[in-house]
């Protein structure tokens, strides 16, 4: 007879891993989308804000490729150049995109309301703060000092091109955070993101996942635009975004990072009851 030992983590949470745009900074996630629109415009291709948002969460090279494969965008490219977009075209668009993103990421770097208070609460609980992004390292290096000056400096940062395996929707950036932060179990970690690829990333890593609807890419409103809505209008705007994140498998969906601390209590109770993500 053989016996199989099973260990189930029931301890407290150890780390929370945040996305950047639409999650902690840049309410509405405008920096990646607007700059992508401008990069395509440099090639005489019109892309709408709604189209630019569709592949959000992917590494930026992958985002550009996916955007170019959208039927309407692909048709415009075919009409303009007489051929389908190639990987070499994606390389050229990416080369145009990166300097623009570095130059302008600071224009959209304001912290989301409630973010600093949330991070302070998490640190008081003894939690490590990790982060990862669809931005490449050169963009993160431009954003980090701006964010630090505003009061947000996570314990670890992984950019989408830091790892040979790549970025989302794979688990590698989230798992690299776990290693660097010294968390002892994937179930002790929570991944917080406003995009489906970001939720996929956390689930693939075996972590708890929290989706953010109102502050992120799916609603796509600035904080001023969001605040101008009535509560009923806000609920109507956030409903499709929340449904999309729930369908992706997010364990919890909140409006913004400001609501996160209470959910961590619920996750720790589930851990204590023997549940896994």
Question: Quick count: other Cβ atoms within 10 Å of Cβ 17?
Answer: 31
Could you tell me the residue ranges of all domains in the chain?
Answer: 15-30+108-272, 32-107
Task: Tell me if residue 60 is catalytic.
Answer: yes
Mean of pLDDT values over 247-266: 97
Q: Are 74 and 84 in contact (CB under 8 A)?
A: yes
Q: CATH number of the domain at 32-107, please?
A: 1.10.150.240
How far apart are alpha carbons 101 and 65 in whole angstroms?
17
pLDDT band with cut points at 50, 70 and 90 for residue 58: confident
What's the pLDDT score for residue 166? 84
Query: What pLDDT score does 2 carry?
Result: 43
Radius of gyration of the chain (CA): 19
Q: What distances in angstroms separate CA 42 from CA 67, 82, 211, 218, 262, one per listed residue?
A: 15, 17, 33, 26, 45
Residues 6+ apart with CB under 8 A from 269: none
Given the residues 26, 38, 44, 60, select the one marked as catalytic: 60
Per residue in 6-27, pLDDT tens?
578 998 999 999 999 999 999 9
Catalytic site residue 128?
no
Q: What is the pLDDT of residue 3?
A: 40
Query: Taking a C-beta distance cutoff of 8 angstroms, is the pair 57, 218 a contact?
Result: no
Q: Is the pLDDT of residue 1 over 70?
A: no
Residue among 19, 185, 193, 194 flagged as catalytic: 19
195-252, pLDDT tens digit by residue?
Answer: 999 999 999 999 999 999 999 998 999 999 999 999 999 999 999 999 999 999 999 9
Query: Of the CATH numbers 3.40.1180.10, 3.40.50.2300, 3.40.50.1000, 1.10.10.10, which one belongs to the domain with range 15-30+108-272?
Result: 3.40.50.1000
User: What distance lies between CA 49 and its chain's CA centroid?
Assistant: 17
- Report pLDDT for 211: 98
């Amino acid at each position: 007879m053989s016996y199989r030992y099973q260990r189930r983590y029931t301890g407290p949470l150890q780390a929370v891993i945040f996305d950047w745009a639409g999650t902690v900074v840049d309410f509405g996630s405008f920096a990646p989308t607007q700059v992508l629109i401008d990069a395509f415009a440099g090639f005489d291709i019109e892309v709408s804000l709604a189209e630019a948002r569709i592949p959000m969460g992917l590494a930026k090279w992958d985002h550009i490729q996916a955007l170019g494969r959208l039927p309407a965008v692909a048709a415009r490219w075919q009409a303009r150049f007489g051929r389908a977009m190639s990987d070499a075209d994606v390389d050229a668009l990416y080369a145009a995109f990166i300097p623009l993103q570095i130059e302008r990421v600071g224009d959209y770097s304001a912290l989301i309301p409630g973010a600093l208070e949330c991070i302070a609460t998490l640190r008081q609980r003894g939690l490590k703060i990790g982060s990862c992004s669809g931005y490449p390292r050169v963009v993160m290096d431009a954003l980090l000092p701006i964010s630090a000056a505003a009061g947000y400096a996570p314990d670890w940062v992984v950019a989408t091109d830091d790892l040979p395996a790549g970025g989302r929707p794979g688990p590698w950036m989230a798992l690299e955070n776990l290693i660097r932060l010294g968390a002892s179990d994937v179930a002790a970690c929570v991944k917080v993101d406003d995009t489906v690829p970001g939720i996929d990333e956390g689930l693939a890593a075996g972590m708890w996942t929290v989706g953010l609807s109102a502050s992120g890419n799916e609603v796509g409103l600035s904080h001023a635009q969001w605040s101008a809505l009535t509560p009923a209008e806000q609920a109507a705007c956030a409903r499709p975004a929340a449904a999309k994140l729930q369908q992706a498998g997010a364990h919890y969906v909140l409006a913004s990072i400001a609501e996160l601390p209470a959910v961590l209590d619920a996750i720790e109770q589930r851990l204590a009851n023997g549940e896994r993500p």
